[in-house]
Amino acid sequence: MARSDPYIVMPADAVDKIASSALSRGSLVLRRASADDMYIVRAVETAKDVRLQVDVSREYAALRSGDSHHAAQWIRVAPNDAHIHHLLLSRRPHATIAFKDFKEMVPGVSDPGNKLGVVVTHDPGLPAELTEAGASEFAGWAVRRSGVRPLHIEVEPEIIGLKQLAGKWPIEQLTTNSVMVVGCGSIGSAAAVALAGYGIGRVELVDPDRFLWHNMLRHALGAEGVGRFKVAAMKDHLAQHWPQQDVVAHRLDVVADAHHIRPIIDRVDLVLCAADGIAPRRVVSHLARRARKPAILACVLDNGSIGEVIRLRPTPRFGCLLCLRRYLADMGAMDAEADQELDYGTGRIHQPMTAVPPDLRYVGTFTAKVAVATLLESLHGDHTQRVPGEHAIIGLRPVSDLATPFDLSQAGDVRWLSIPGPRTACPTCSSG
């Protein structure tokens, strides 16, 4: 097959219809999408003069498009004959076989006249060794009187989506886990998408805000979400791309609605906080510690020059967010963060808005990875994804004028650190 040949796309329902038909050949209706040079099988003759539409589910927009209908044929062939030829011819670009030789091999093929005939042959008894060699049960042919060429048929596989990862990624384990995502902005939406891709079974989204025009540049959502509540629009977005995942949307403010937040934390395995501002992060640190759940906090600092991911684990080895901040302040670290600590309660928030969109998605995906690594280690005893520490500082557009440990000088650099133990009499850690 040459790169310039058209493609035939065959939905699973067309496969079923042909394979289960009692006929040995019948007609097909193809739809041609000329811009993409492909044919889509849209109807199959399953019994004499009975032609059934092929089901193509709604999300396959391109497969439901296409213009002029094109009459074609399907033919059941004897094993070991046509499909070996198809395989051999496919490996020789521009090779053709004479129409009369093809007709001998595939009796029942109609004479295409002066036009192009498209034929799909079905060999239900194809031996396994031929399948392994690359032959398939369905083969396509461009039939002209001047010669016949093989066409590629792309058959919809039985297993698609995350199930394809089974045996290669701990998908069965992660399906049983749940994560609460606090803050569905740039970082949070990217983290939620990544959690779905890693196979986390349930995500509970928490955010009180609407998705507006100025959010669009840096968000997983597009124009379709403008005006909606972020959690509701994200739930729909995730359902469309990751239908196996359970998503719960909560239009809640983690600070003002803390009494509603506690029961959610109680039923999830981990909290991922990507909310802007010191107050929500402190509340998450406190509530997660009390509920004995790990929390991963993500943000960008210093106008998007660095990303920061903190993992808080409810063990006597590690303190809470306040314990870490106090320790860093004592070291003389990070004026920007110290400013925000001082401004706590005045409504001043982190300012990620100068950050570049992919940098925020990068931090969101990174945070989801740390969350997944934490779940695999703590709940499944799987250490294959172990991360190097509890506190990651990520170079995005570093300006290298920050005090240690934030003094990265290169983009793409990740500095991993531990975090200190609890302070004596820390109100979060001591009774936790």
Contact by Cβ (8 Å): 33, 40: yes
Selected binder of Zn ion within 189, 245, 374, 428 (CB under 5 A): 428
21 binds Zn ion (CB under 5 A): no
**Interatomic CA distance for residues 207 and 288, integer angstroms:** 17
Contact by Cβ (8 Å): 249, 230: no
Contact by Cβ (8 Å): 41, 120: yes
Min. distance of Cβ 327 from Zn ion in angstroms? 10
Min. distance of Cβ 317 from Zn ion in angstroms? 12
Nearer to Zn ion, 167 or 316 (CB): 316
Cis peptide before 243 (omega within 30 of 0): no
Nearer to Zn ion, 77 or 323 (CB): 323
Selected binder of Zn ion within 43, 295, 370, 429 (CB under 5 A): 429
Nearer to Zn ion, 323 or 375 (CB): 323
**Interatomic CA distance for residues 362 and 342, integer angstroms:** 29
Q: Provide the 3-class DSSP secondary structure of residue 72.
A: strand
Min. distance of Cβ 281 from Zn ion in angstroms? 13
285 binds Zn ion (CB under 5 A): no
**Interatomic CA distance for residues 119 and 148, integer angstroms:** 10
How many residues sit close enough to Zn ion to count as binding (CB under 5 A)?
Answer: 7
Nearer to Zn ion, 264 or 429 (CB): 429
Min. distance of Cβ 422 from Zn ion in angstroms? 5
Q: Taking Cα atoms as reference points, which of 309, 336, 367, 62 lies closest to residue 191?
A: 367
190 binds Zn ion (CB under 5 A): no
The alpha-carbon radius of gyration of the chain (Å, integer) is: 29
Contact by Cβ (8 Å): 152, 7: yes
Nearer to Zn ion, 8 or 284 (CB): 284
DSSP class of residue 432? -
How many residues belong to the chain? 432
Q: Which residues 408-427 are close enough to bind Zn ion by CB under 5 A?
A: 422, 426
Q: Provide the 3-class DSSP secondary structure of residue 168.
A: coil
Q: Which residues 286-325 are close enough to bind Zn ion by CB under 5 A?
A: 319-320, 323
Q: Which residues 103-142 are close enough to bind Zn ion by CB under 5 A?
A: none
Interface map 318-357 toward Zn ion (x if CB under 5 A): -xx--x----------------------------------
Min. distance of Cβ 426 from Zn ion in angstroms? 3
**Interatomic CA distance for residues 407 and 401, integer angstroms:** 7
Min. distance of Cβ 423 from Zn ion in angstroms? 6
Nearer to Zn ion, 118 or 320 (CB): 320
165 binds Zn ion (CB under 5 A): no
Nearer to Zn ion, 26 or 319 (CB): 319
**Interatomic CA distance for residues 306 and 404, integer angstroms:** 13
DSSP class of residue 200? -
Strands 117-122 and 295-301: unpaired
Nearer to Zn ion, 408 or 419 (CB): 419
Interacting residues with Zn ion (CB under 5 A): 319-320, 323, 422, 426, 428-429
